[in-house]
Amino acid sequence: MSEIVVITGASAGIGRACVREFAKRQCKIGLIARGEDGLEGARREVEALGGEAIVLPTDVSDSDAVERAASAVEERFGPIDVWVNDAFTNVFAEFLDIEPDEYRRVTEVTYLGFVWGTRAALRRMLPRNRGRIVQVASAVTYRSIPLQAAYSGSKAAIRGFTDAIRCELHHHDSKVRICSVNMPAVNTPQFSWNRAKVSRKPQPVPPIYQPEVAARAVYYAAHHRRREVTVGSSSLVAITANKFIPGLLDRYLGATGYDSQQYDGGLEPGRPDNLYAPVPGDHGAHGDFDSRSKSESLELTLTTLPRFVGLAAAFGLFVVAKALQR
């Protein structure tokens, strides 16, 4: 029986890659985002891969709109099995260069969008006592970076919110599960269309991973009982180091975080952004960094193949023991 899935931010980037990952399993997918061009492109891909899709143009900062979208999915396909929260927006700028309305907008989409999506999912999943919610988080959930104060703050808020929900689910002994996926830098179109007030073009902090890596992690998280999944060595290092040397990281990122998030020349005049309205067109999953992006994550491979890792470790110990006996 086909799974019924909802993906926010489904028109582009990680969300679009997740659409493809679920569609390969012939899932029935509710596609939520603002950009209708990208949503229609995603729908065509789902159908080409053997799945079914419903296009739901929705601004996730509007709780009533998210609720209506959830109802439309269940009216069309039936009970939702998996809900993936991914939609976000951002402003690349120093904090004092971000206007209050801009900061509020990033927070409403990137944080409250996850809250409203989680609420819509739980209102349906809890009475049935089943379902999975996946929060597409980030390494900045734990380790904030300069030029992304609004985004970093929203991602950290998602972690606090999600932890509280987990406690409540445990209190009720619920079988509904919620998992966060801590993403590294990913090659998505966001760097071409998020609002920017910096001197050069924005880029993800290397190393950069392809969106398909992120999508595989989301699919894994939706089907395994994990509290969190971390993707990429950079995410693992950042999260771990922040537990022990946060002050040193403050200084390091203050010294390197501006240059590492910019490249090439100045911003194009009249560059469009998607802070308040979607950028027209179907932009797909990939950004401008294909030549510099990794298609695999060792950390994700080790996470998703625990039996293989155990056997490999056992074999390694056996080889070492034999060598010591000689």
For the annotated catalytic residues, the residue numbers are: 151
Strand partners, 185: 208
CA distances, 304 to each of 210, 212, 252 (Å): 17, 15, 32
Q: Which long-range contacts (CB under 8 A, 24 or more apart) does 117-120 make?
A: 117/6, 117/8, 117/60, 117/66, 117/83, 117/85, 117/87, 118/83, 118/85, 118/161, 118/162, 118/165, 118/178, 119/63, 119/66, 119/67, 120/66, 120/67, 120/69, 120/70, 120/83
Which three-class secondary structure state does DSSP give residue 149?
A: helix
Distance CA 175, CA 132 (A): 9
206 and 260 in contact (C-beta within 8 Å)? yes
Q: Is 88 exposed, middle or buried (0-12, 13-18, 19+ CB in 10 A)?
A: buried
Distance CA 4, CA 44 (A): 17
